[in-house]
Amino acid sequence: MQDISILLRPSSLLLLLAVFCLSYVLTRMVRGYALAGNLMDVPNERSSHTAPTPRGGGVAIVLSFLLGLLLSWCLGLLGGWQTLGFLVAGGLVAVVGFVDDHRHIPARWRLLGHFAAAAALLWAFNGLPPLPFAGTSWNLGLLGHLLALFYLVWLLNLYNFMDGIDGIASLEAITVCFGAALCSWLAGQVAASWLPVLLSMATLGFLLWNYPPAKIFMGDAGSGFLGLVLGGLSLQAAWAMPQLFWCWLILLGVFVVDATWTLFQRLLRGERLYEAHRSHGYQRAARLIGAHRGVSLSVAAINLFWLLPIAILVSLERVDGVIGLIVAYAPLVLLAVYLGAGRPENSTAR
């Protein structure tokens, strides 16, 4: 097992605290900027909130994490290529999202920026590593790299889609990162646990402003950034130990299943995919119970008490990754069907 002392030394712990504090302070500053510039998310018939709320707070996550990334490299906690990959790719997605938060960017140009950022991150990580499946290692070569490219772009966009009620995207990132860091540590890959912890601290500082009832929203700059970075962290973990990739996919299950099932249902009805809607399972659940907090906390609970134990078993190689993924996702698919994810908004849950 790798030495954990490097992650627990005073400089590392101080860096985590500094990233959390910086994120908290920056979120407050962005909120003031949004209020002064009237950068508000005004409710409409497609919204899940009822009061005008400042948006763009995810910039605080971006800046605090990227600064922490640079300092981590200076402390010898990260390699240069990893640092450069996250800086370039994460920065590009954040800039695209920030501009889109201020003035609309056509979907095709946003998607072009997303693919460019994903390609840069894949280049820094040398693409998709061989993955374990049914007791053997599968090297998909160029096909694997292409699949990884679309995987990153899909995670980026689904995170944007799933950021629709107070606190849900923040709690998802924190609990997934906590679970992934634990899996890496238990698997003996201590170094792969550092960045998930760093990202969780950057997100926690923002969550204190975003927790229901939210005082500020994340915006496209933050949600897209989180989706891409989480995908990049899953590839980083896969290169450290291949079965950890399945752990990440398992931990991301709530967002992956809800967004993918909803997209599939809307495709079947011929709807425009980038058209605003409120048909995700989590949105229907929030309307059903009349509150955001219960749904966001339920997502966190599913991550910690259902998905994490399965991911731990996979990380310890007690369960095959694909089997663990199927077991983890099966009830989530049933839940999405029960809630009516992707069905017309005026239809009732099953």
Find, among 103, 68, 72, 66, the residue nearest to 88 by Cα: 66
Would the annotation count 139 as a binding residue? no
> Which bin fits 276, alpha (ψ -120 to 50), beta or left (φ > 0)?
beta
**DSSP-assigned letter for residue 337:** H
In angstroms, rounded to a whole number, what is the distance separating the alpha carbons of residues 339 and 341?
6
CA 152/CA 248 separation, integer angstroms: 13
- Tokens read off for 156: 């980026």
In sequence order, the β-bridge partners of residue 41 are 53
Q: Which residues contact 341 (CB under 8 A, 6 or more apart)?
A: 258, 261, 262, 265, 279, 280, 281, 284
Helix (H, G, I), strand (E, B) or coil at 273: coil
- Backbone phi, psi, residue 137, to 5°: -105, 125
Q: Which two tokens stand for residue 58?
A: 């995810």
d(CA 312, CA 321): 10
Name the binding residues.
160, 220
Name the binding residues for Mg(2+).
160, 220
